A and B are shown apart, each in its own frame.
Chain A
């Protein structure tokens, strides 16, 4: 295939990073920092940078969309001078399946099945934010047991997501041992999810009105085992990575971001906290019953890759702390609201009551009507602020369902982190942003 045909067939047009010669100077100046750019005042002064080179000495290369370290179909276009990254532009959309549009075609009852597929590493959080938004529009209060079950699952999900991150991050800096470790521990959590929800991923367990079922018998013992094991293994990770000089040299000071940049770029979650801003929605704008449990918000100092690693590792410890409190204080009672409009009848009733059968049929075919209104709710997902803006026109389907995906927004800070760094470090930095492409592209 000739070069021209190749470019023609793979080109995304103006979405791509263009050579300097065909980019206006103002844009270049902005693009030095990032291509999802920083505004004036934040942008770097071109004359300050000694990595400037004439155009014919730099090259623009593609990393992805199928590069193993990009964690999915993320494509980064990088302008390189030797091994130094000058400019980066993420090109996204390869996994776009129009889930927000699909959400408008599904009833509130079915909607959780859709959103759970967005962030496939923490599906329960997606269901949670969707359910909270629907409940806010309905104006219903869910029973305390449902709240605490949700909290338990949400924290277990955070542990599993962060373990997965530790594993892939280990892989990206060259520690295959860490990868095996991370996946091994995550398996325990997935087994618990399977026992509870029936599925390892995409659970559709947290639904508007509560949860789909109660926790299985003996769940306390399972959780105890998980907490004990994970806590022990975390100490192993500390031995393997945290104090290890090679790991430090790969992570310290790489991909640094400061607090002003993080705020300007709307970065949330571990990225924002790594810059020293103690912002965690569980603490600052509590939802569920997070104001009743005791935990610490982990904060970094330098905003570099090591801080983000340390934050995630310690957040697992904090989550375990929360999980232990939830096990101790789990209230008894219903696991879903007994509002007949929202809740289908128990499965056993369908066999004996005609009304229950009709009711069941109506809930699952027509859904329930939700009063007019609009609402924005946000929860702290493992990746940051996961928000749901929902508009209802009074029918059984959301008029507009927008998910504020933390990965999508956090990806904007990647070009700033990569600026002036080495190509080889880019891999570690991409992983420290923790993008989940299902959520980025939706």
Chain B
């Protein structure tokens, strides 16, 4: 095992402060529960995550997306323009025992965002899931195909304008499937 990943869970003295984070010019906020959240621009997304990785956030613990179609009035810090989609990345620092969340606005008109695959190989399946469920494309992803839905599926199920499936009921005037 390499030296830079070595941590000791029993000794709080081993906790070291990461570098100058967040990078300058990136709006930040605190989420419910007090976790740090940064809101980089889509153009700076990759660069910001790279800065965090170099600053001691060794693991990408989660990557998902949210469709804010029916909830546009959410609270965002100054300087962040709300868009329909948001990609949410959860980074974890094992050495500092800290989490940071990265929320990036992705416009509906241009659903492309940089892939984090070159920084964290673990992003592979998670980005494929986001593509599958929301139709957001990841630039630089090696194999952007559907992962949970069948290959020939139409539509992106977790979008808010995608209907909820129904089991057809054999009653008069019952709603049909979807």
Contacts and interface: CB of A to CB of B under 8 A. Distances in A.
B2 to A, nearest CB: 6
B121 A98 contact: no
Contacts of A42: 121
A284 interface: yes
Contact-residue bracket for chain B: 35 or more
A27 B143 CA distance: 9
B125 A408 contact: yes
Interface in B104-121: 117-121
Contact of B125 (A278, A377, A400, A412): A412
Interface string A192-236: 000000000000000000000000000000000000000000000
Contact of B31 (A277, A371, A374, A441): A374
A166 B64 CA distance: 32
B5 A259 contact: yes
Contacts of A284: 9, 94, 97
Interface stretch (B20-28, B38-46, B146-154, B169-177): B146-154
A26 B142 CA distance: 9
A251 interface: no
Contacts of B62: 376, 387, 389, 402, 404
Given A100-B158, A101-B158, A393-B71, A14 B142 contact: no
Contacts, number: 155
A26 B66 CA distance: 32
Nearest to B164: A105
A424 interface: no
Given A39-B117, A373-B31, A15 B71 contact: no
Contacts of A11: 151
Interface stretch (A151-159, A262-270, A309-317, A334-342): A262-270
B83 interface: no
B152 A13 contact: yes
A117 B118 CA distance: 34
A136 B30 CA distance: 13
A404 B61 contact: yes
Interface string B136-150: 000000110111111
SS of B interface (majority): loop
B54 interface: no
A285 B122 contact: no
B151 A137 contact: no
Interface in A16-49: 26-27, 30, 35-40, 42
A253 interface: no
B122 A412 contact: yes
Contact of B124 (A37, A404, A442): A37
Contacts of B148: 92-93, 96, 441-442
Interface string B40-73: 0000000000000000001111101011001100
Nearest to B60: A266
B33 A266 contact: no
A260 interface: yes
B90 A389 contact: yes
A441 B99 CA distance: 25
A39 B64 contact: no
Contact of A37 (B7, B75, B142, B165): B142
A167 interface: no
B143 A263 contact: no
Given A93-B148, A376-B101, A404-B62, A259 B143 contact: no
Nearest to B62: A404
Contacts of B94: 263, 277, 279, 284
Contacts of A137: 32
A331 interface: no
A285 B97 contact: yes
B124 A373 contact: no
Contact of B9 (A278, A377, A399, A411): A278
B61 A264 contact: no
A102 B32 CA distance: 24
A402 B64 contact: yes
Contacts of A375: 31-33, 35
Interface of B: 1-2, 5, 7-10, 31-33, 35, 58-62, 64, 66-67, 70-71, 74-75, 88, 90, 94, 97, 99, 101, 117-126, 129, 133, 142-143, 145-152, 157-158, 164-165
Among all A-B residue pairs, the 3 with the closest Cβ atoms: A266-B122, A13-B151, A373-B32
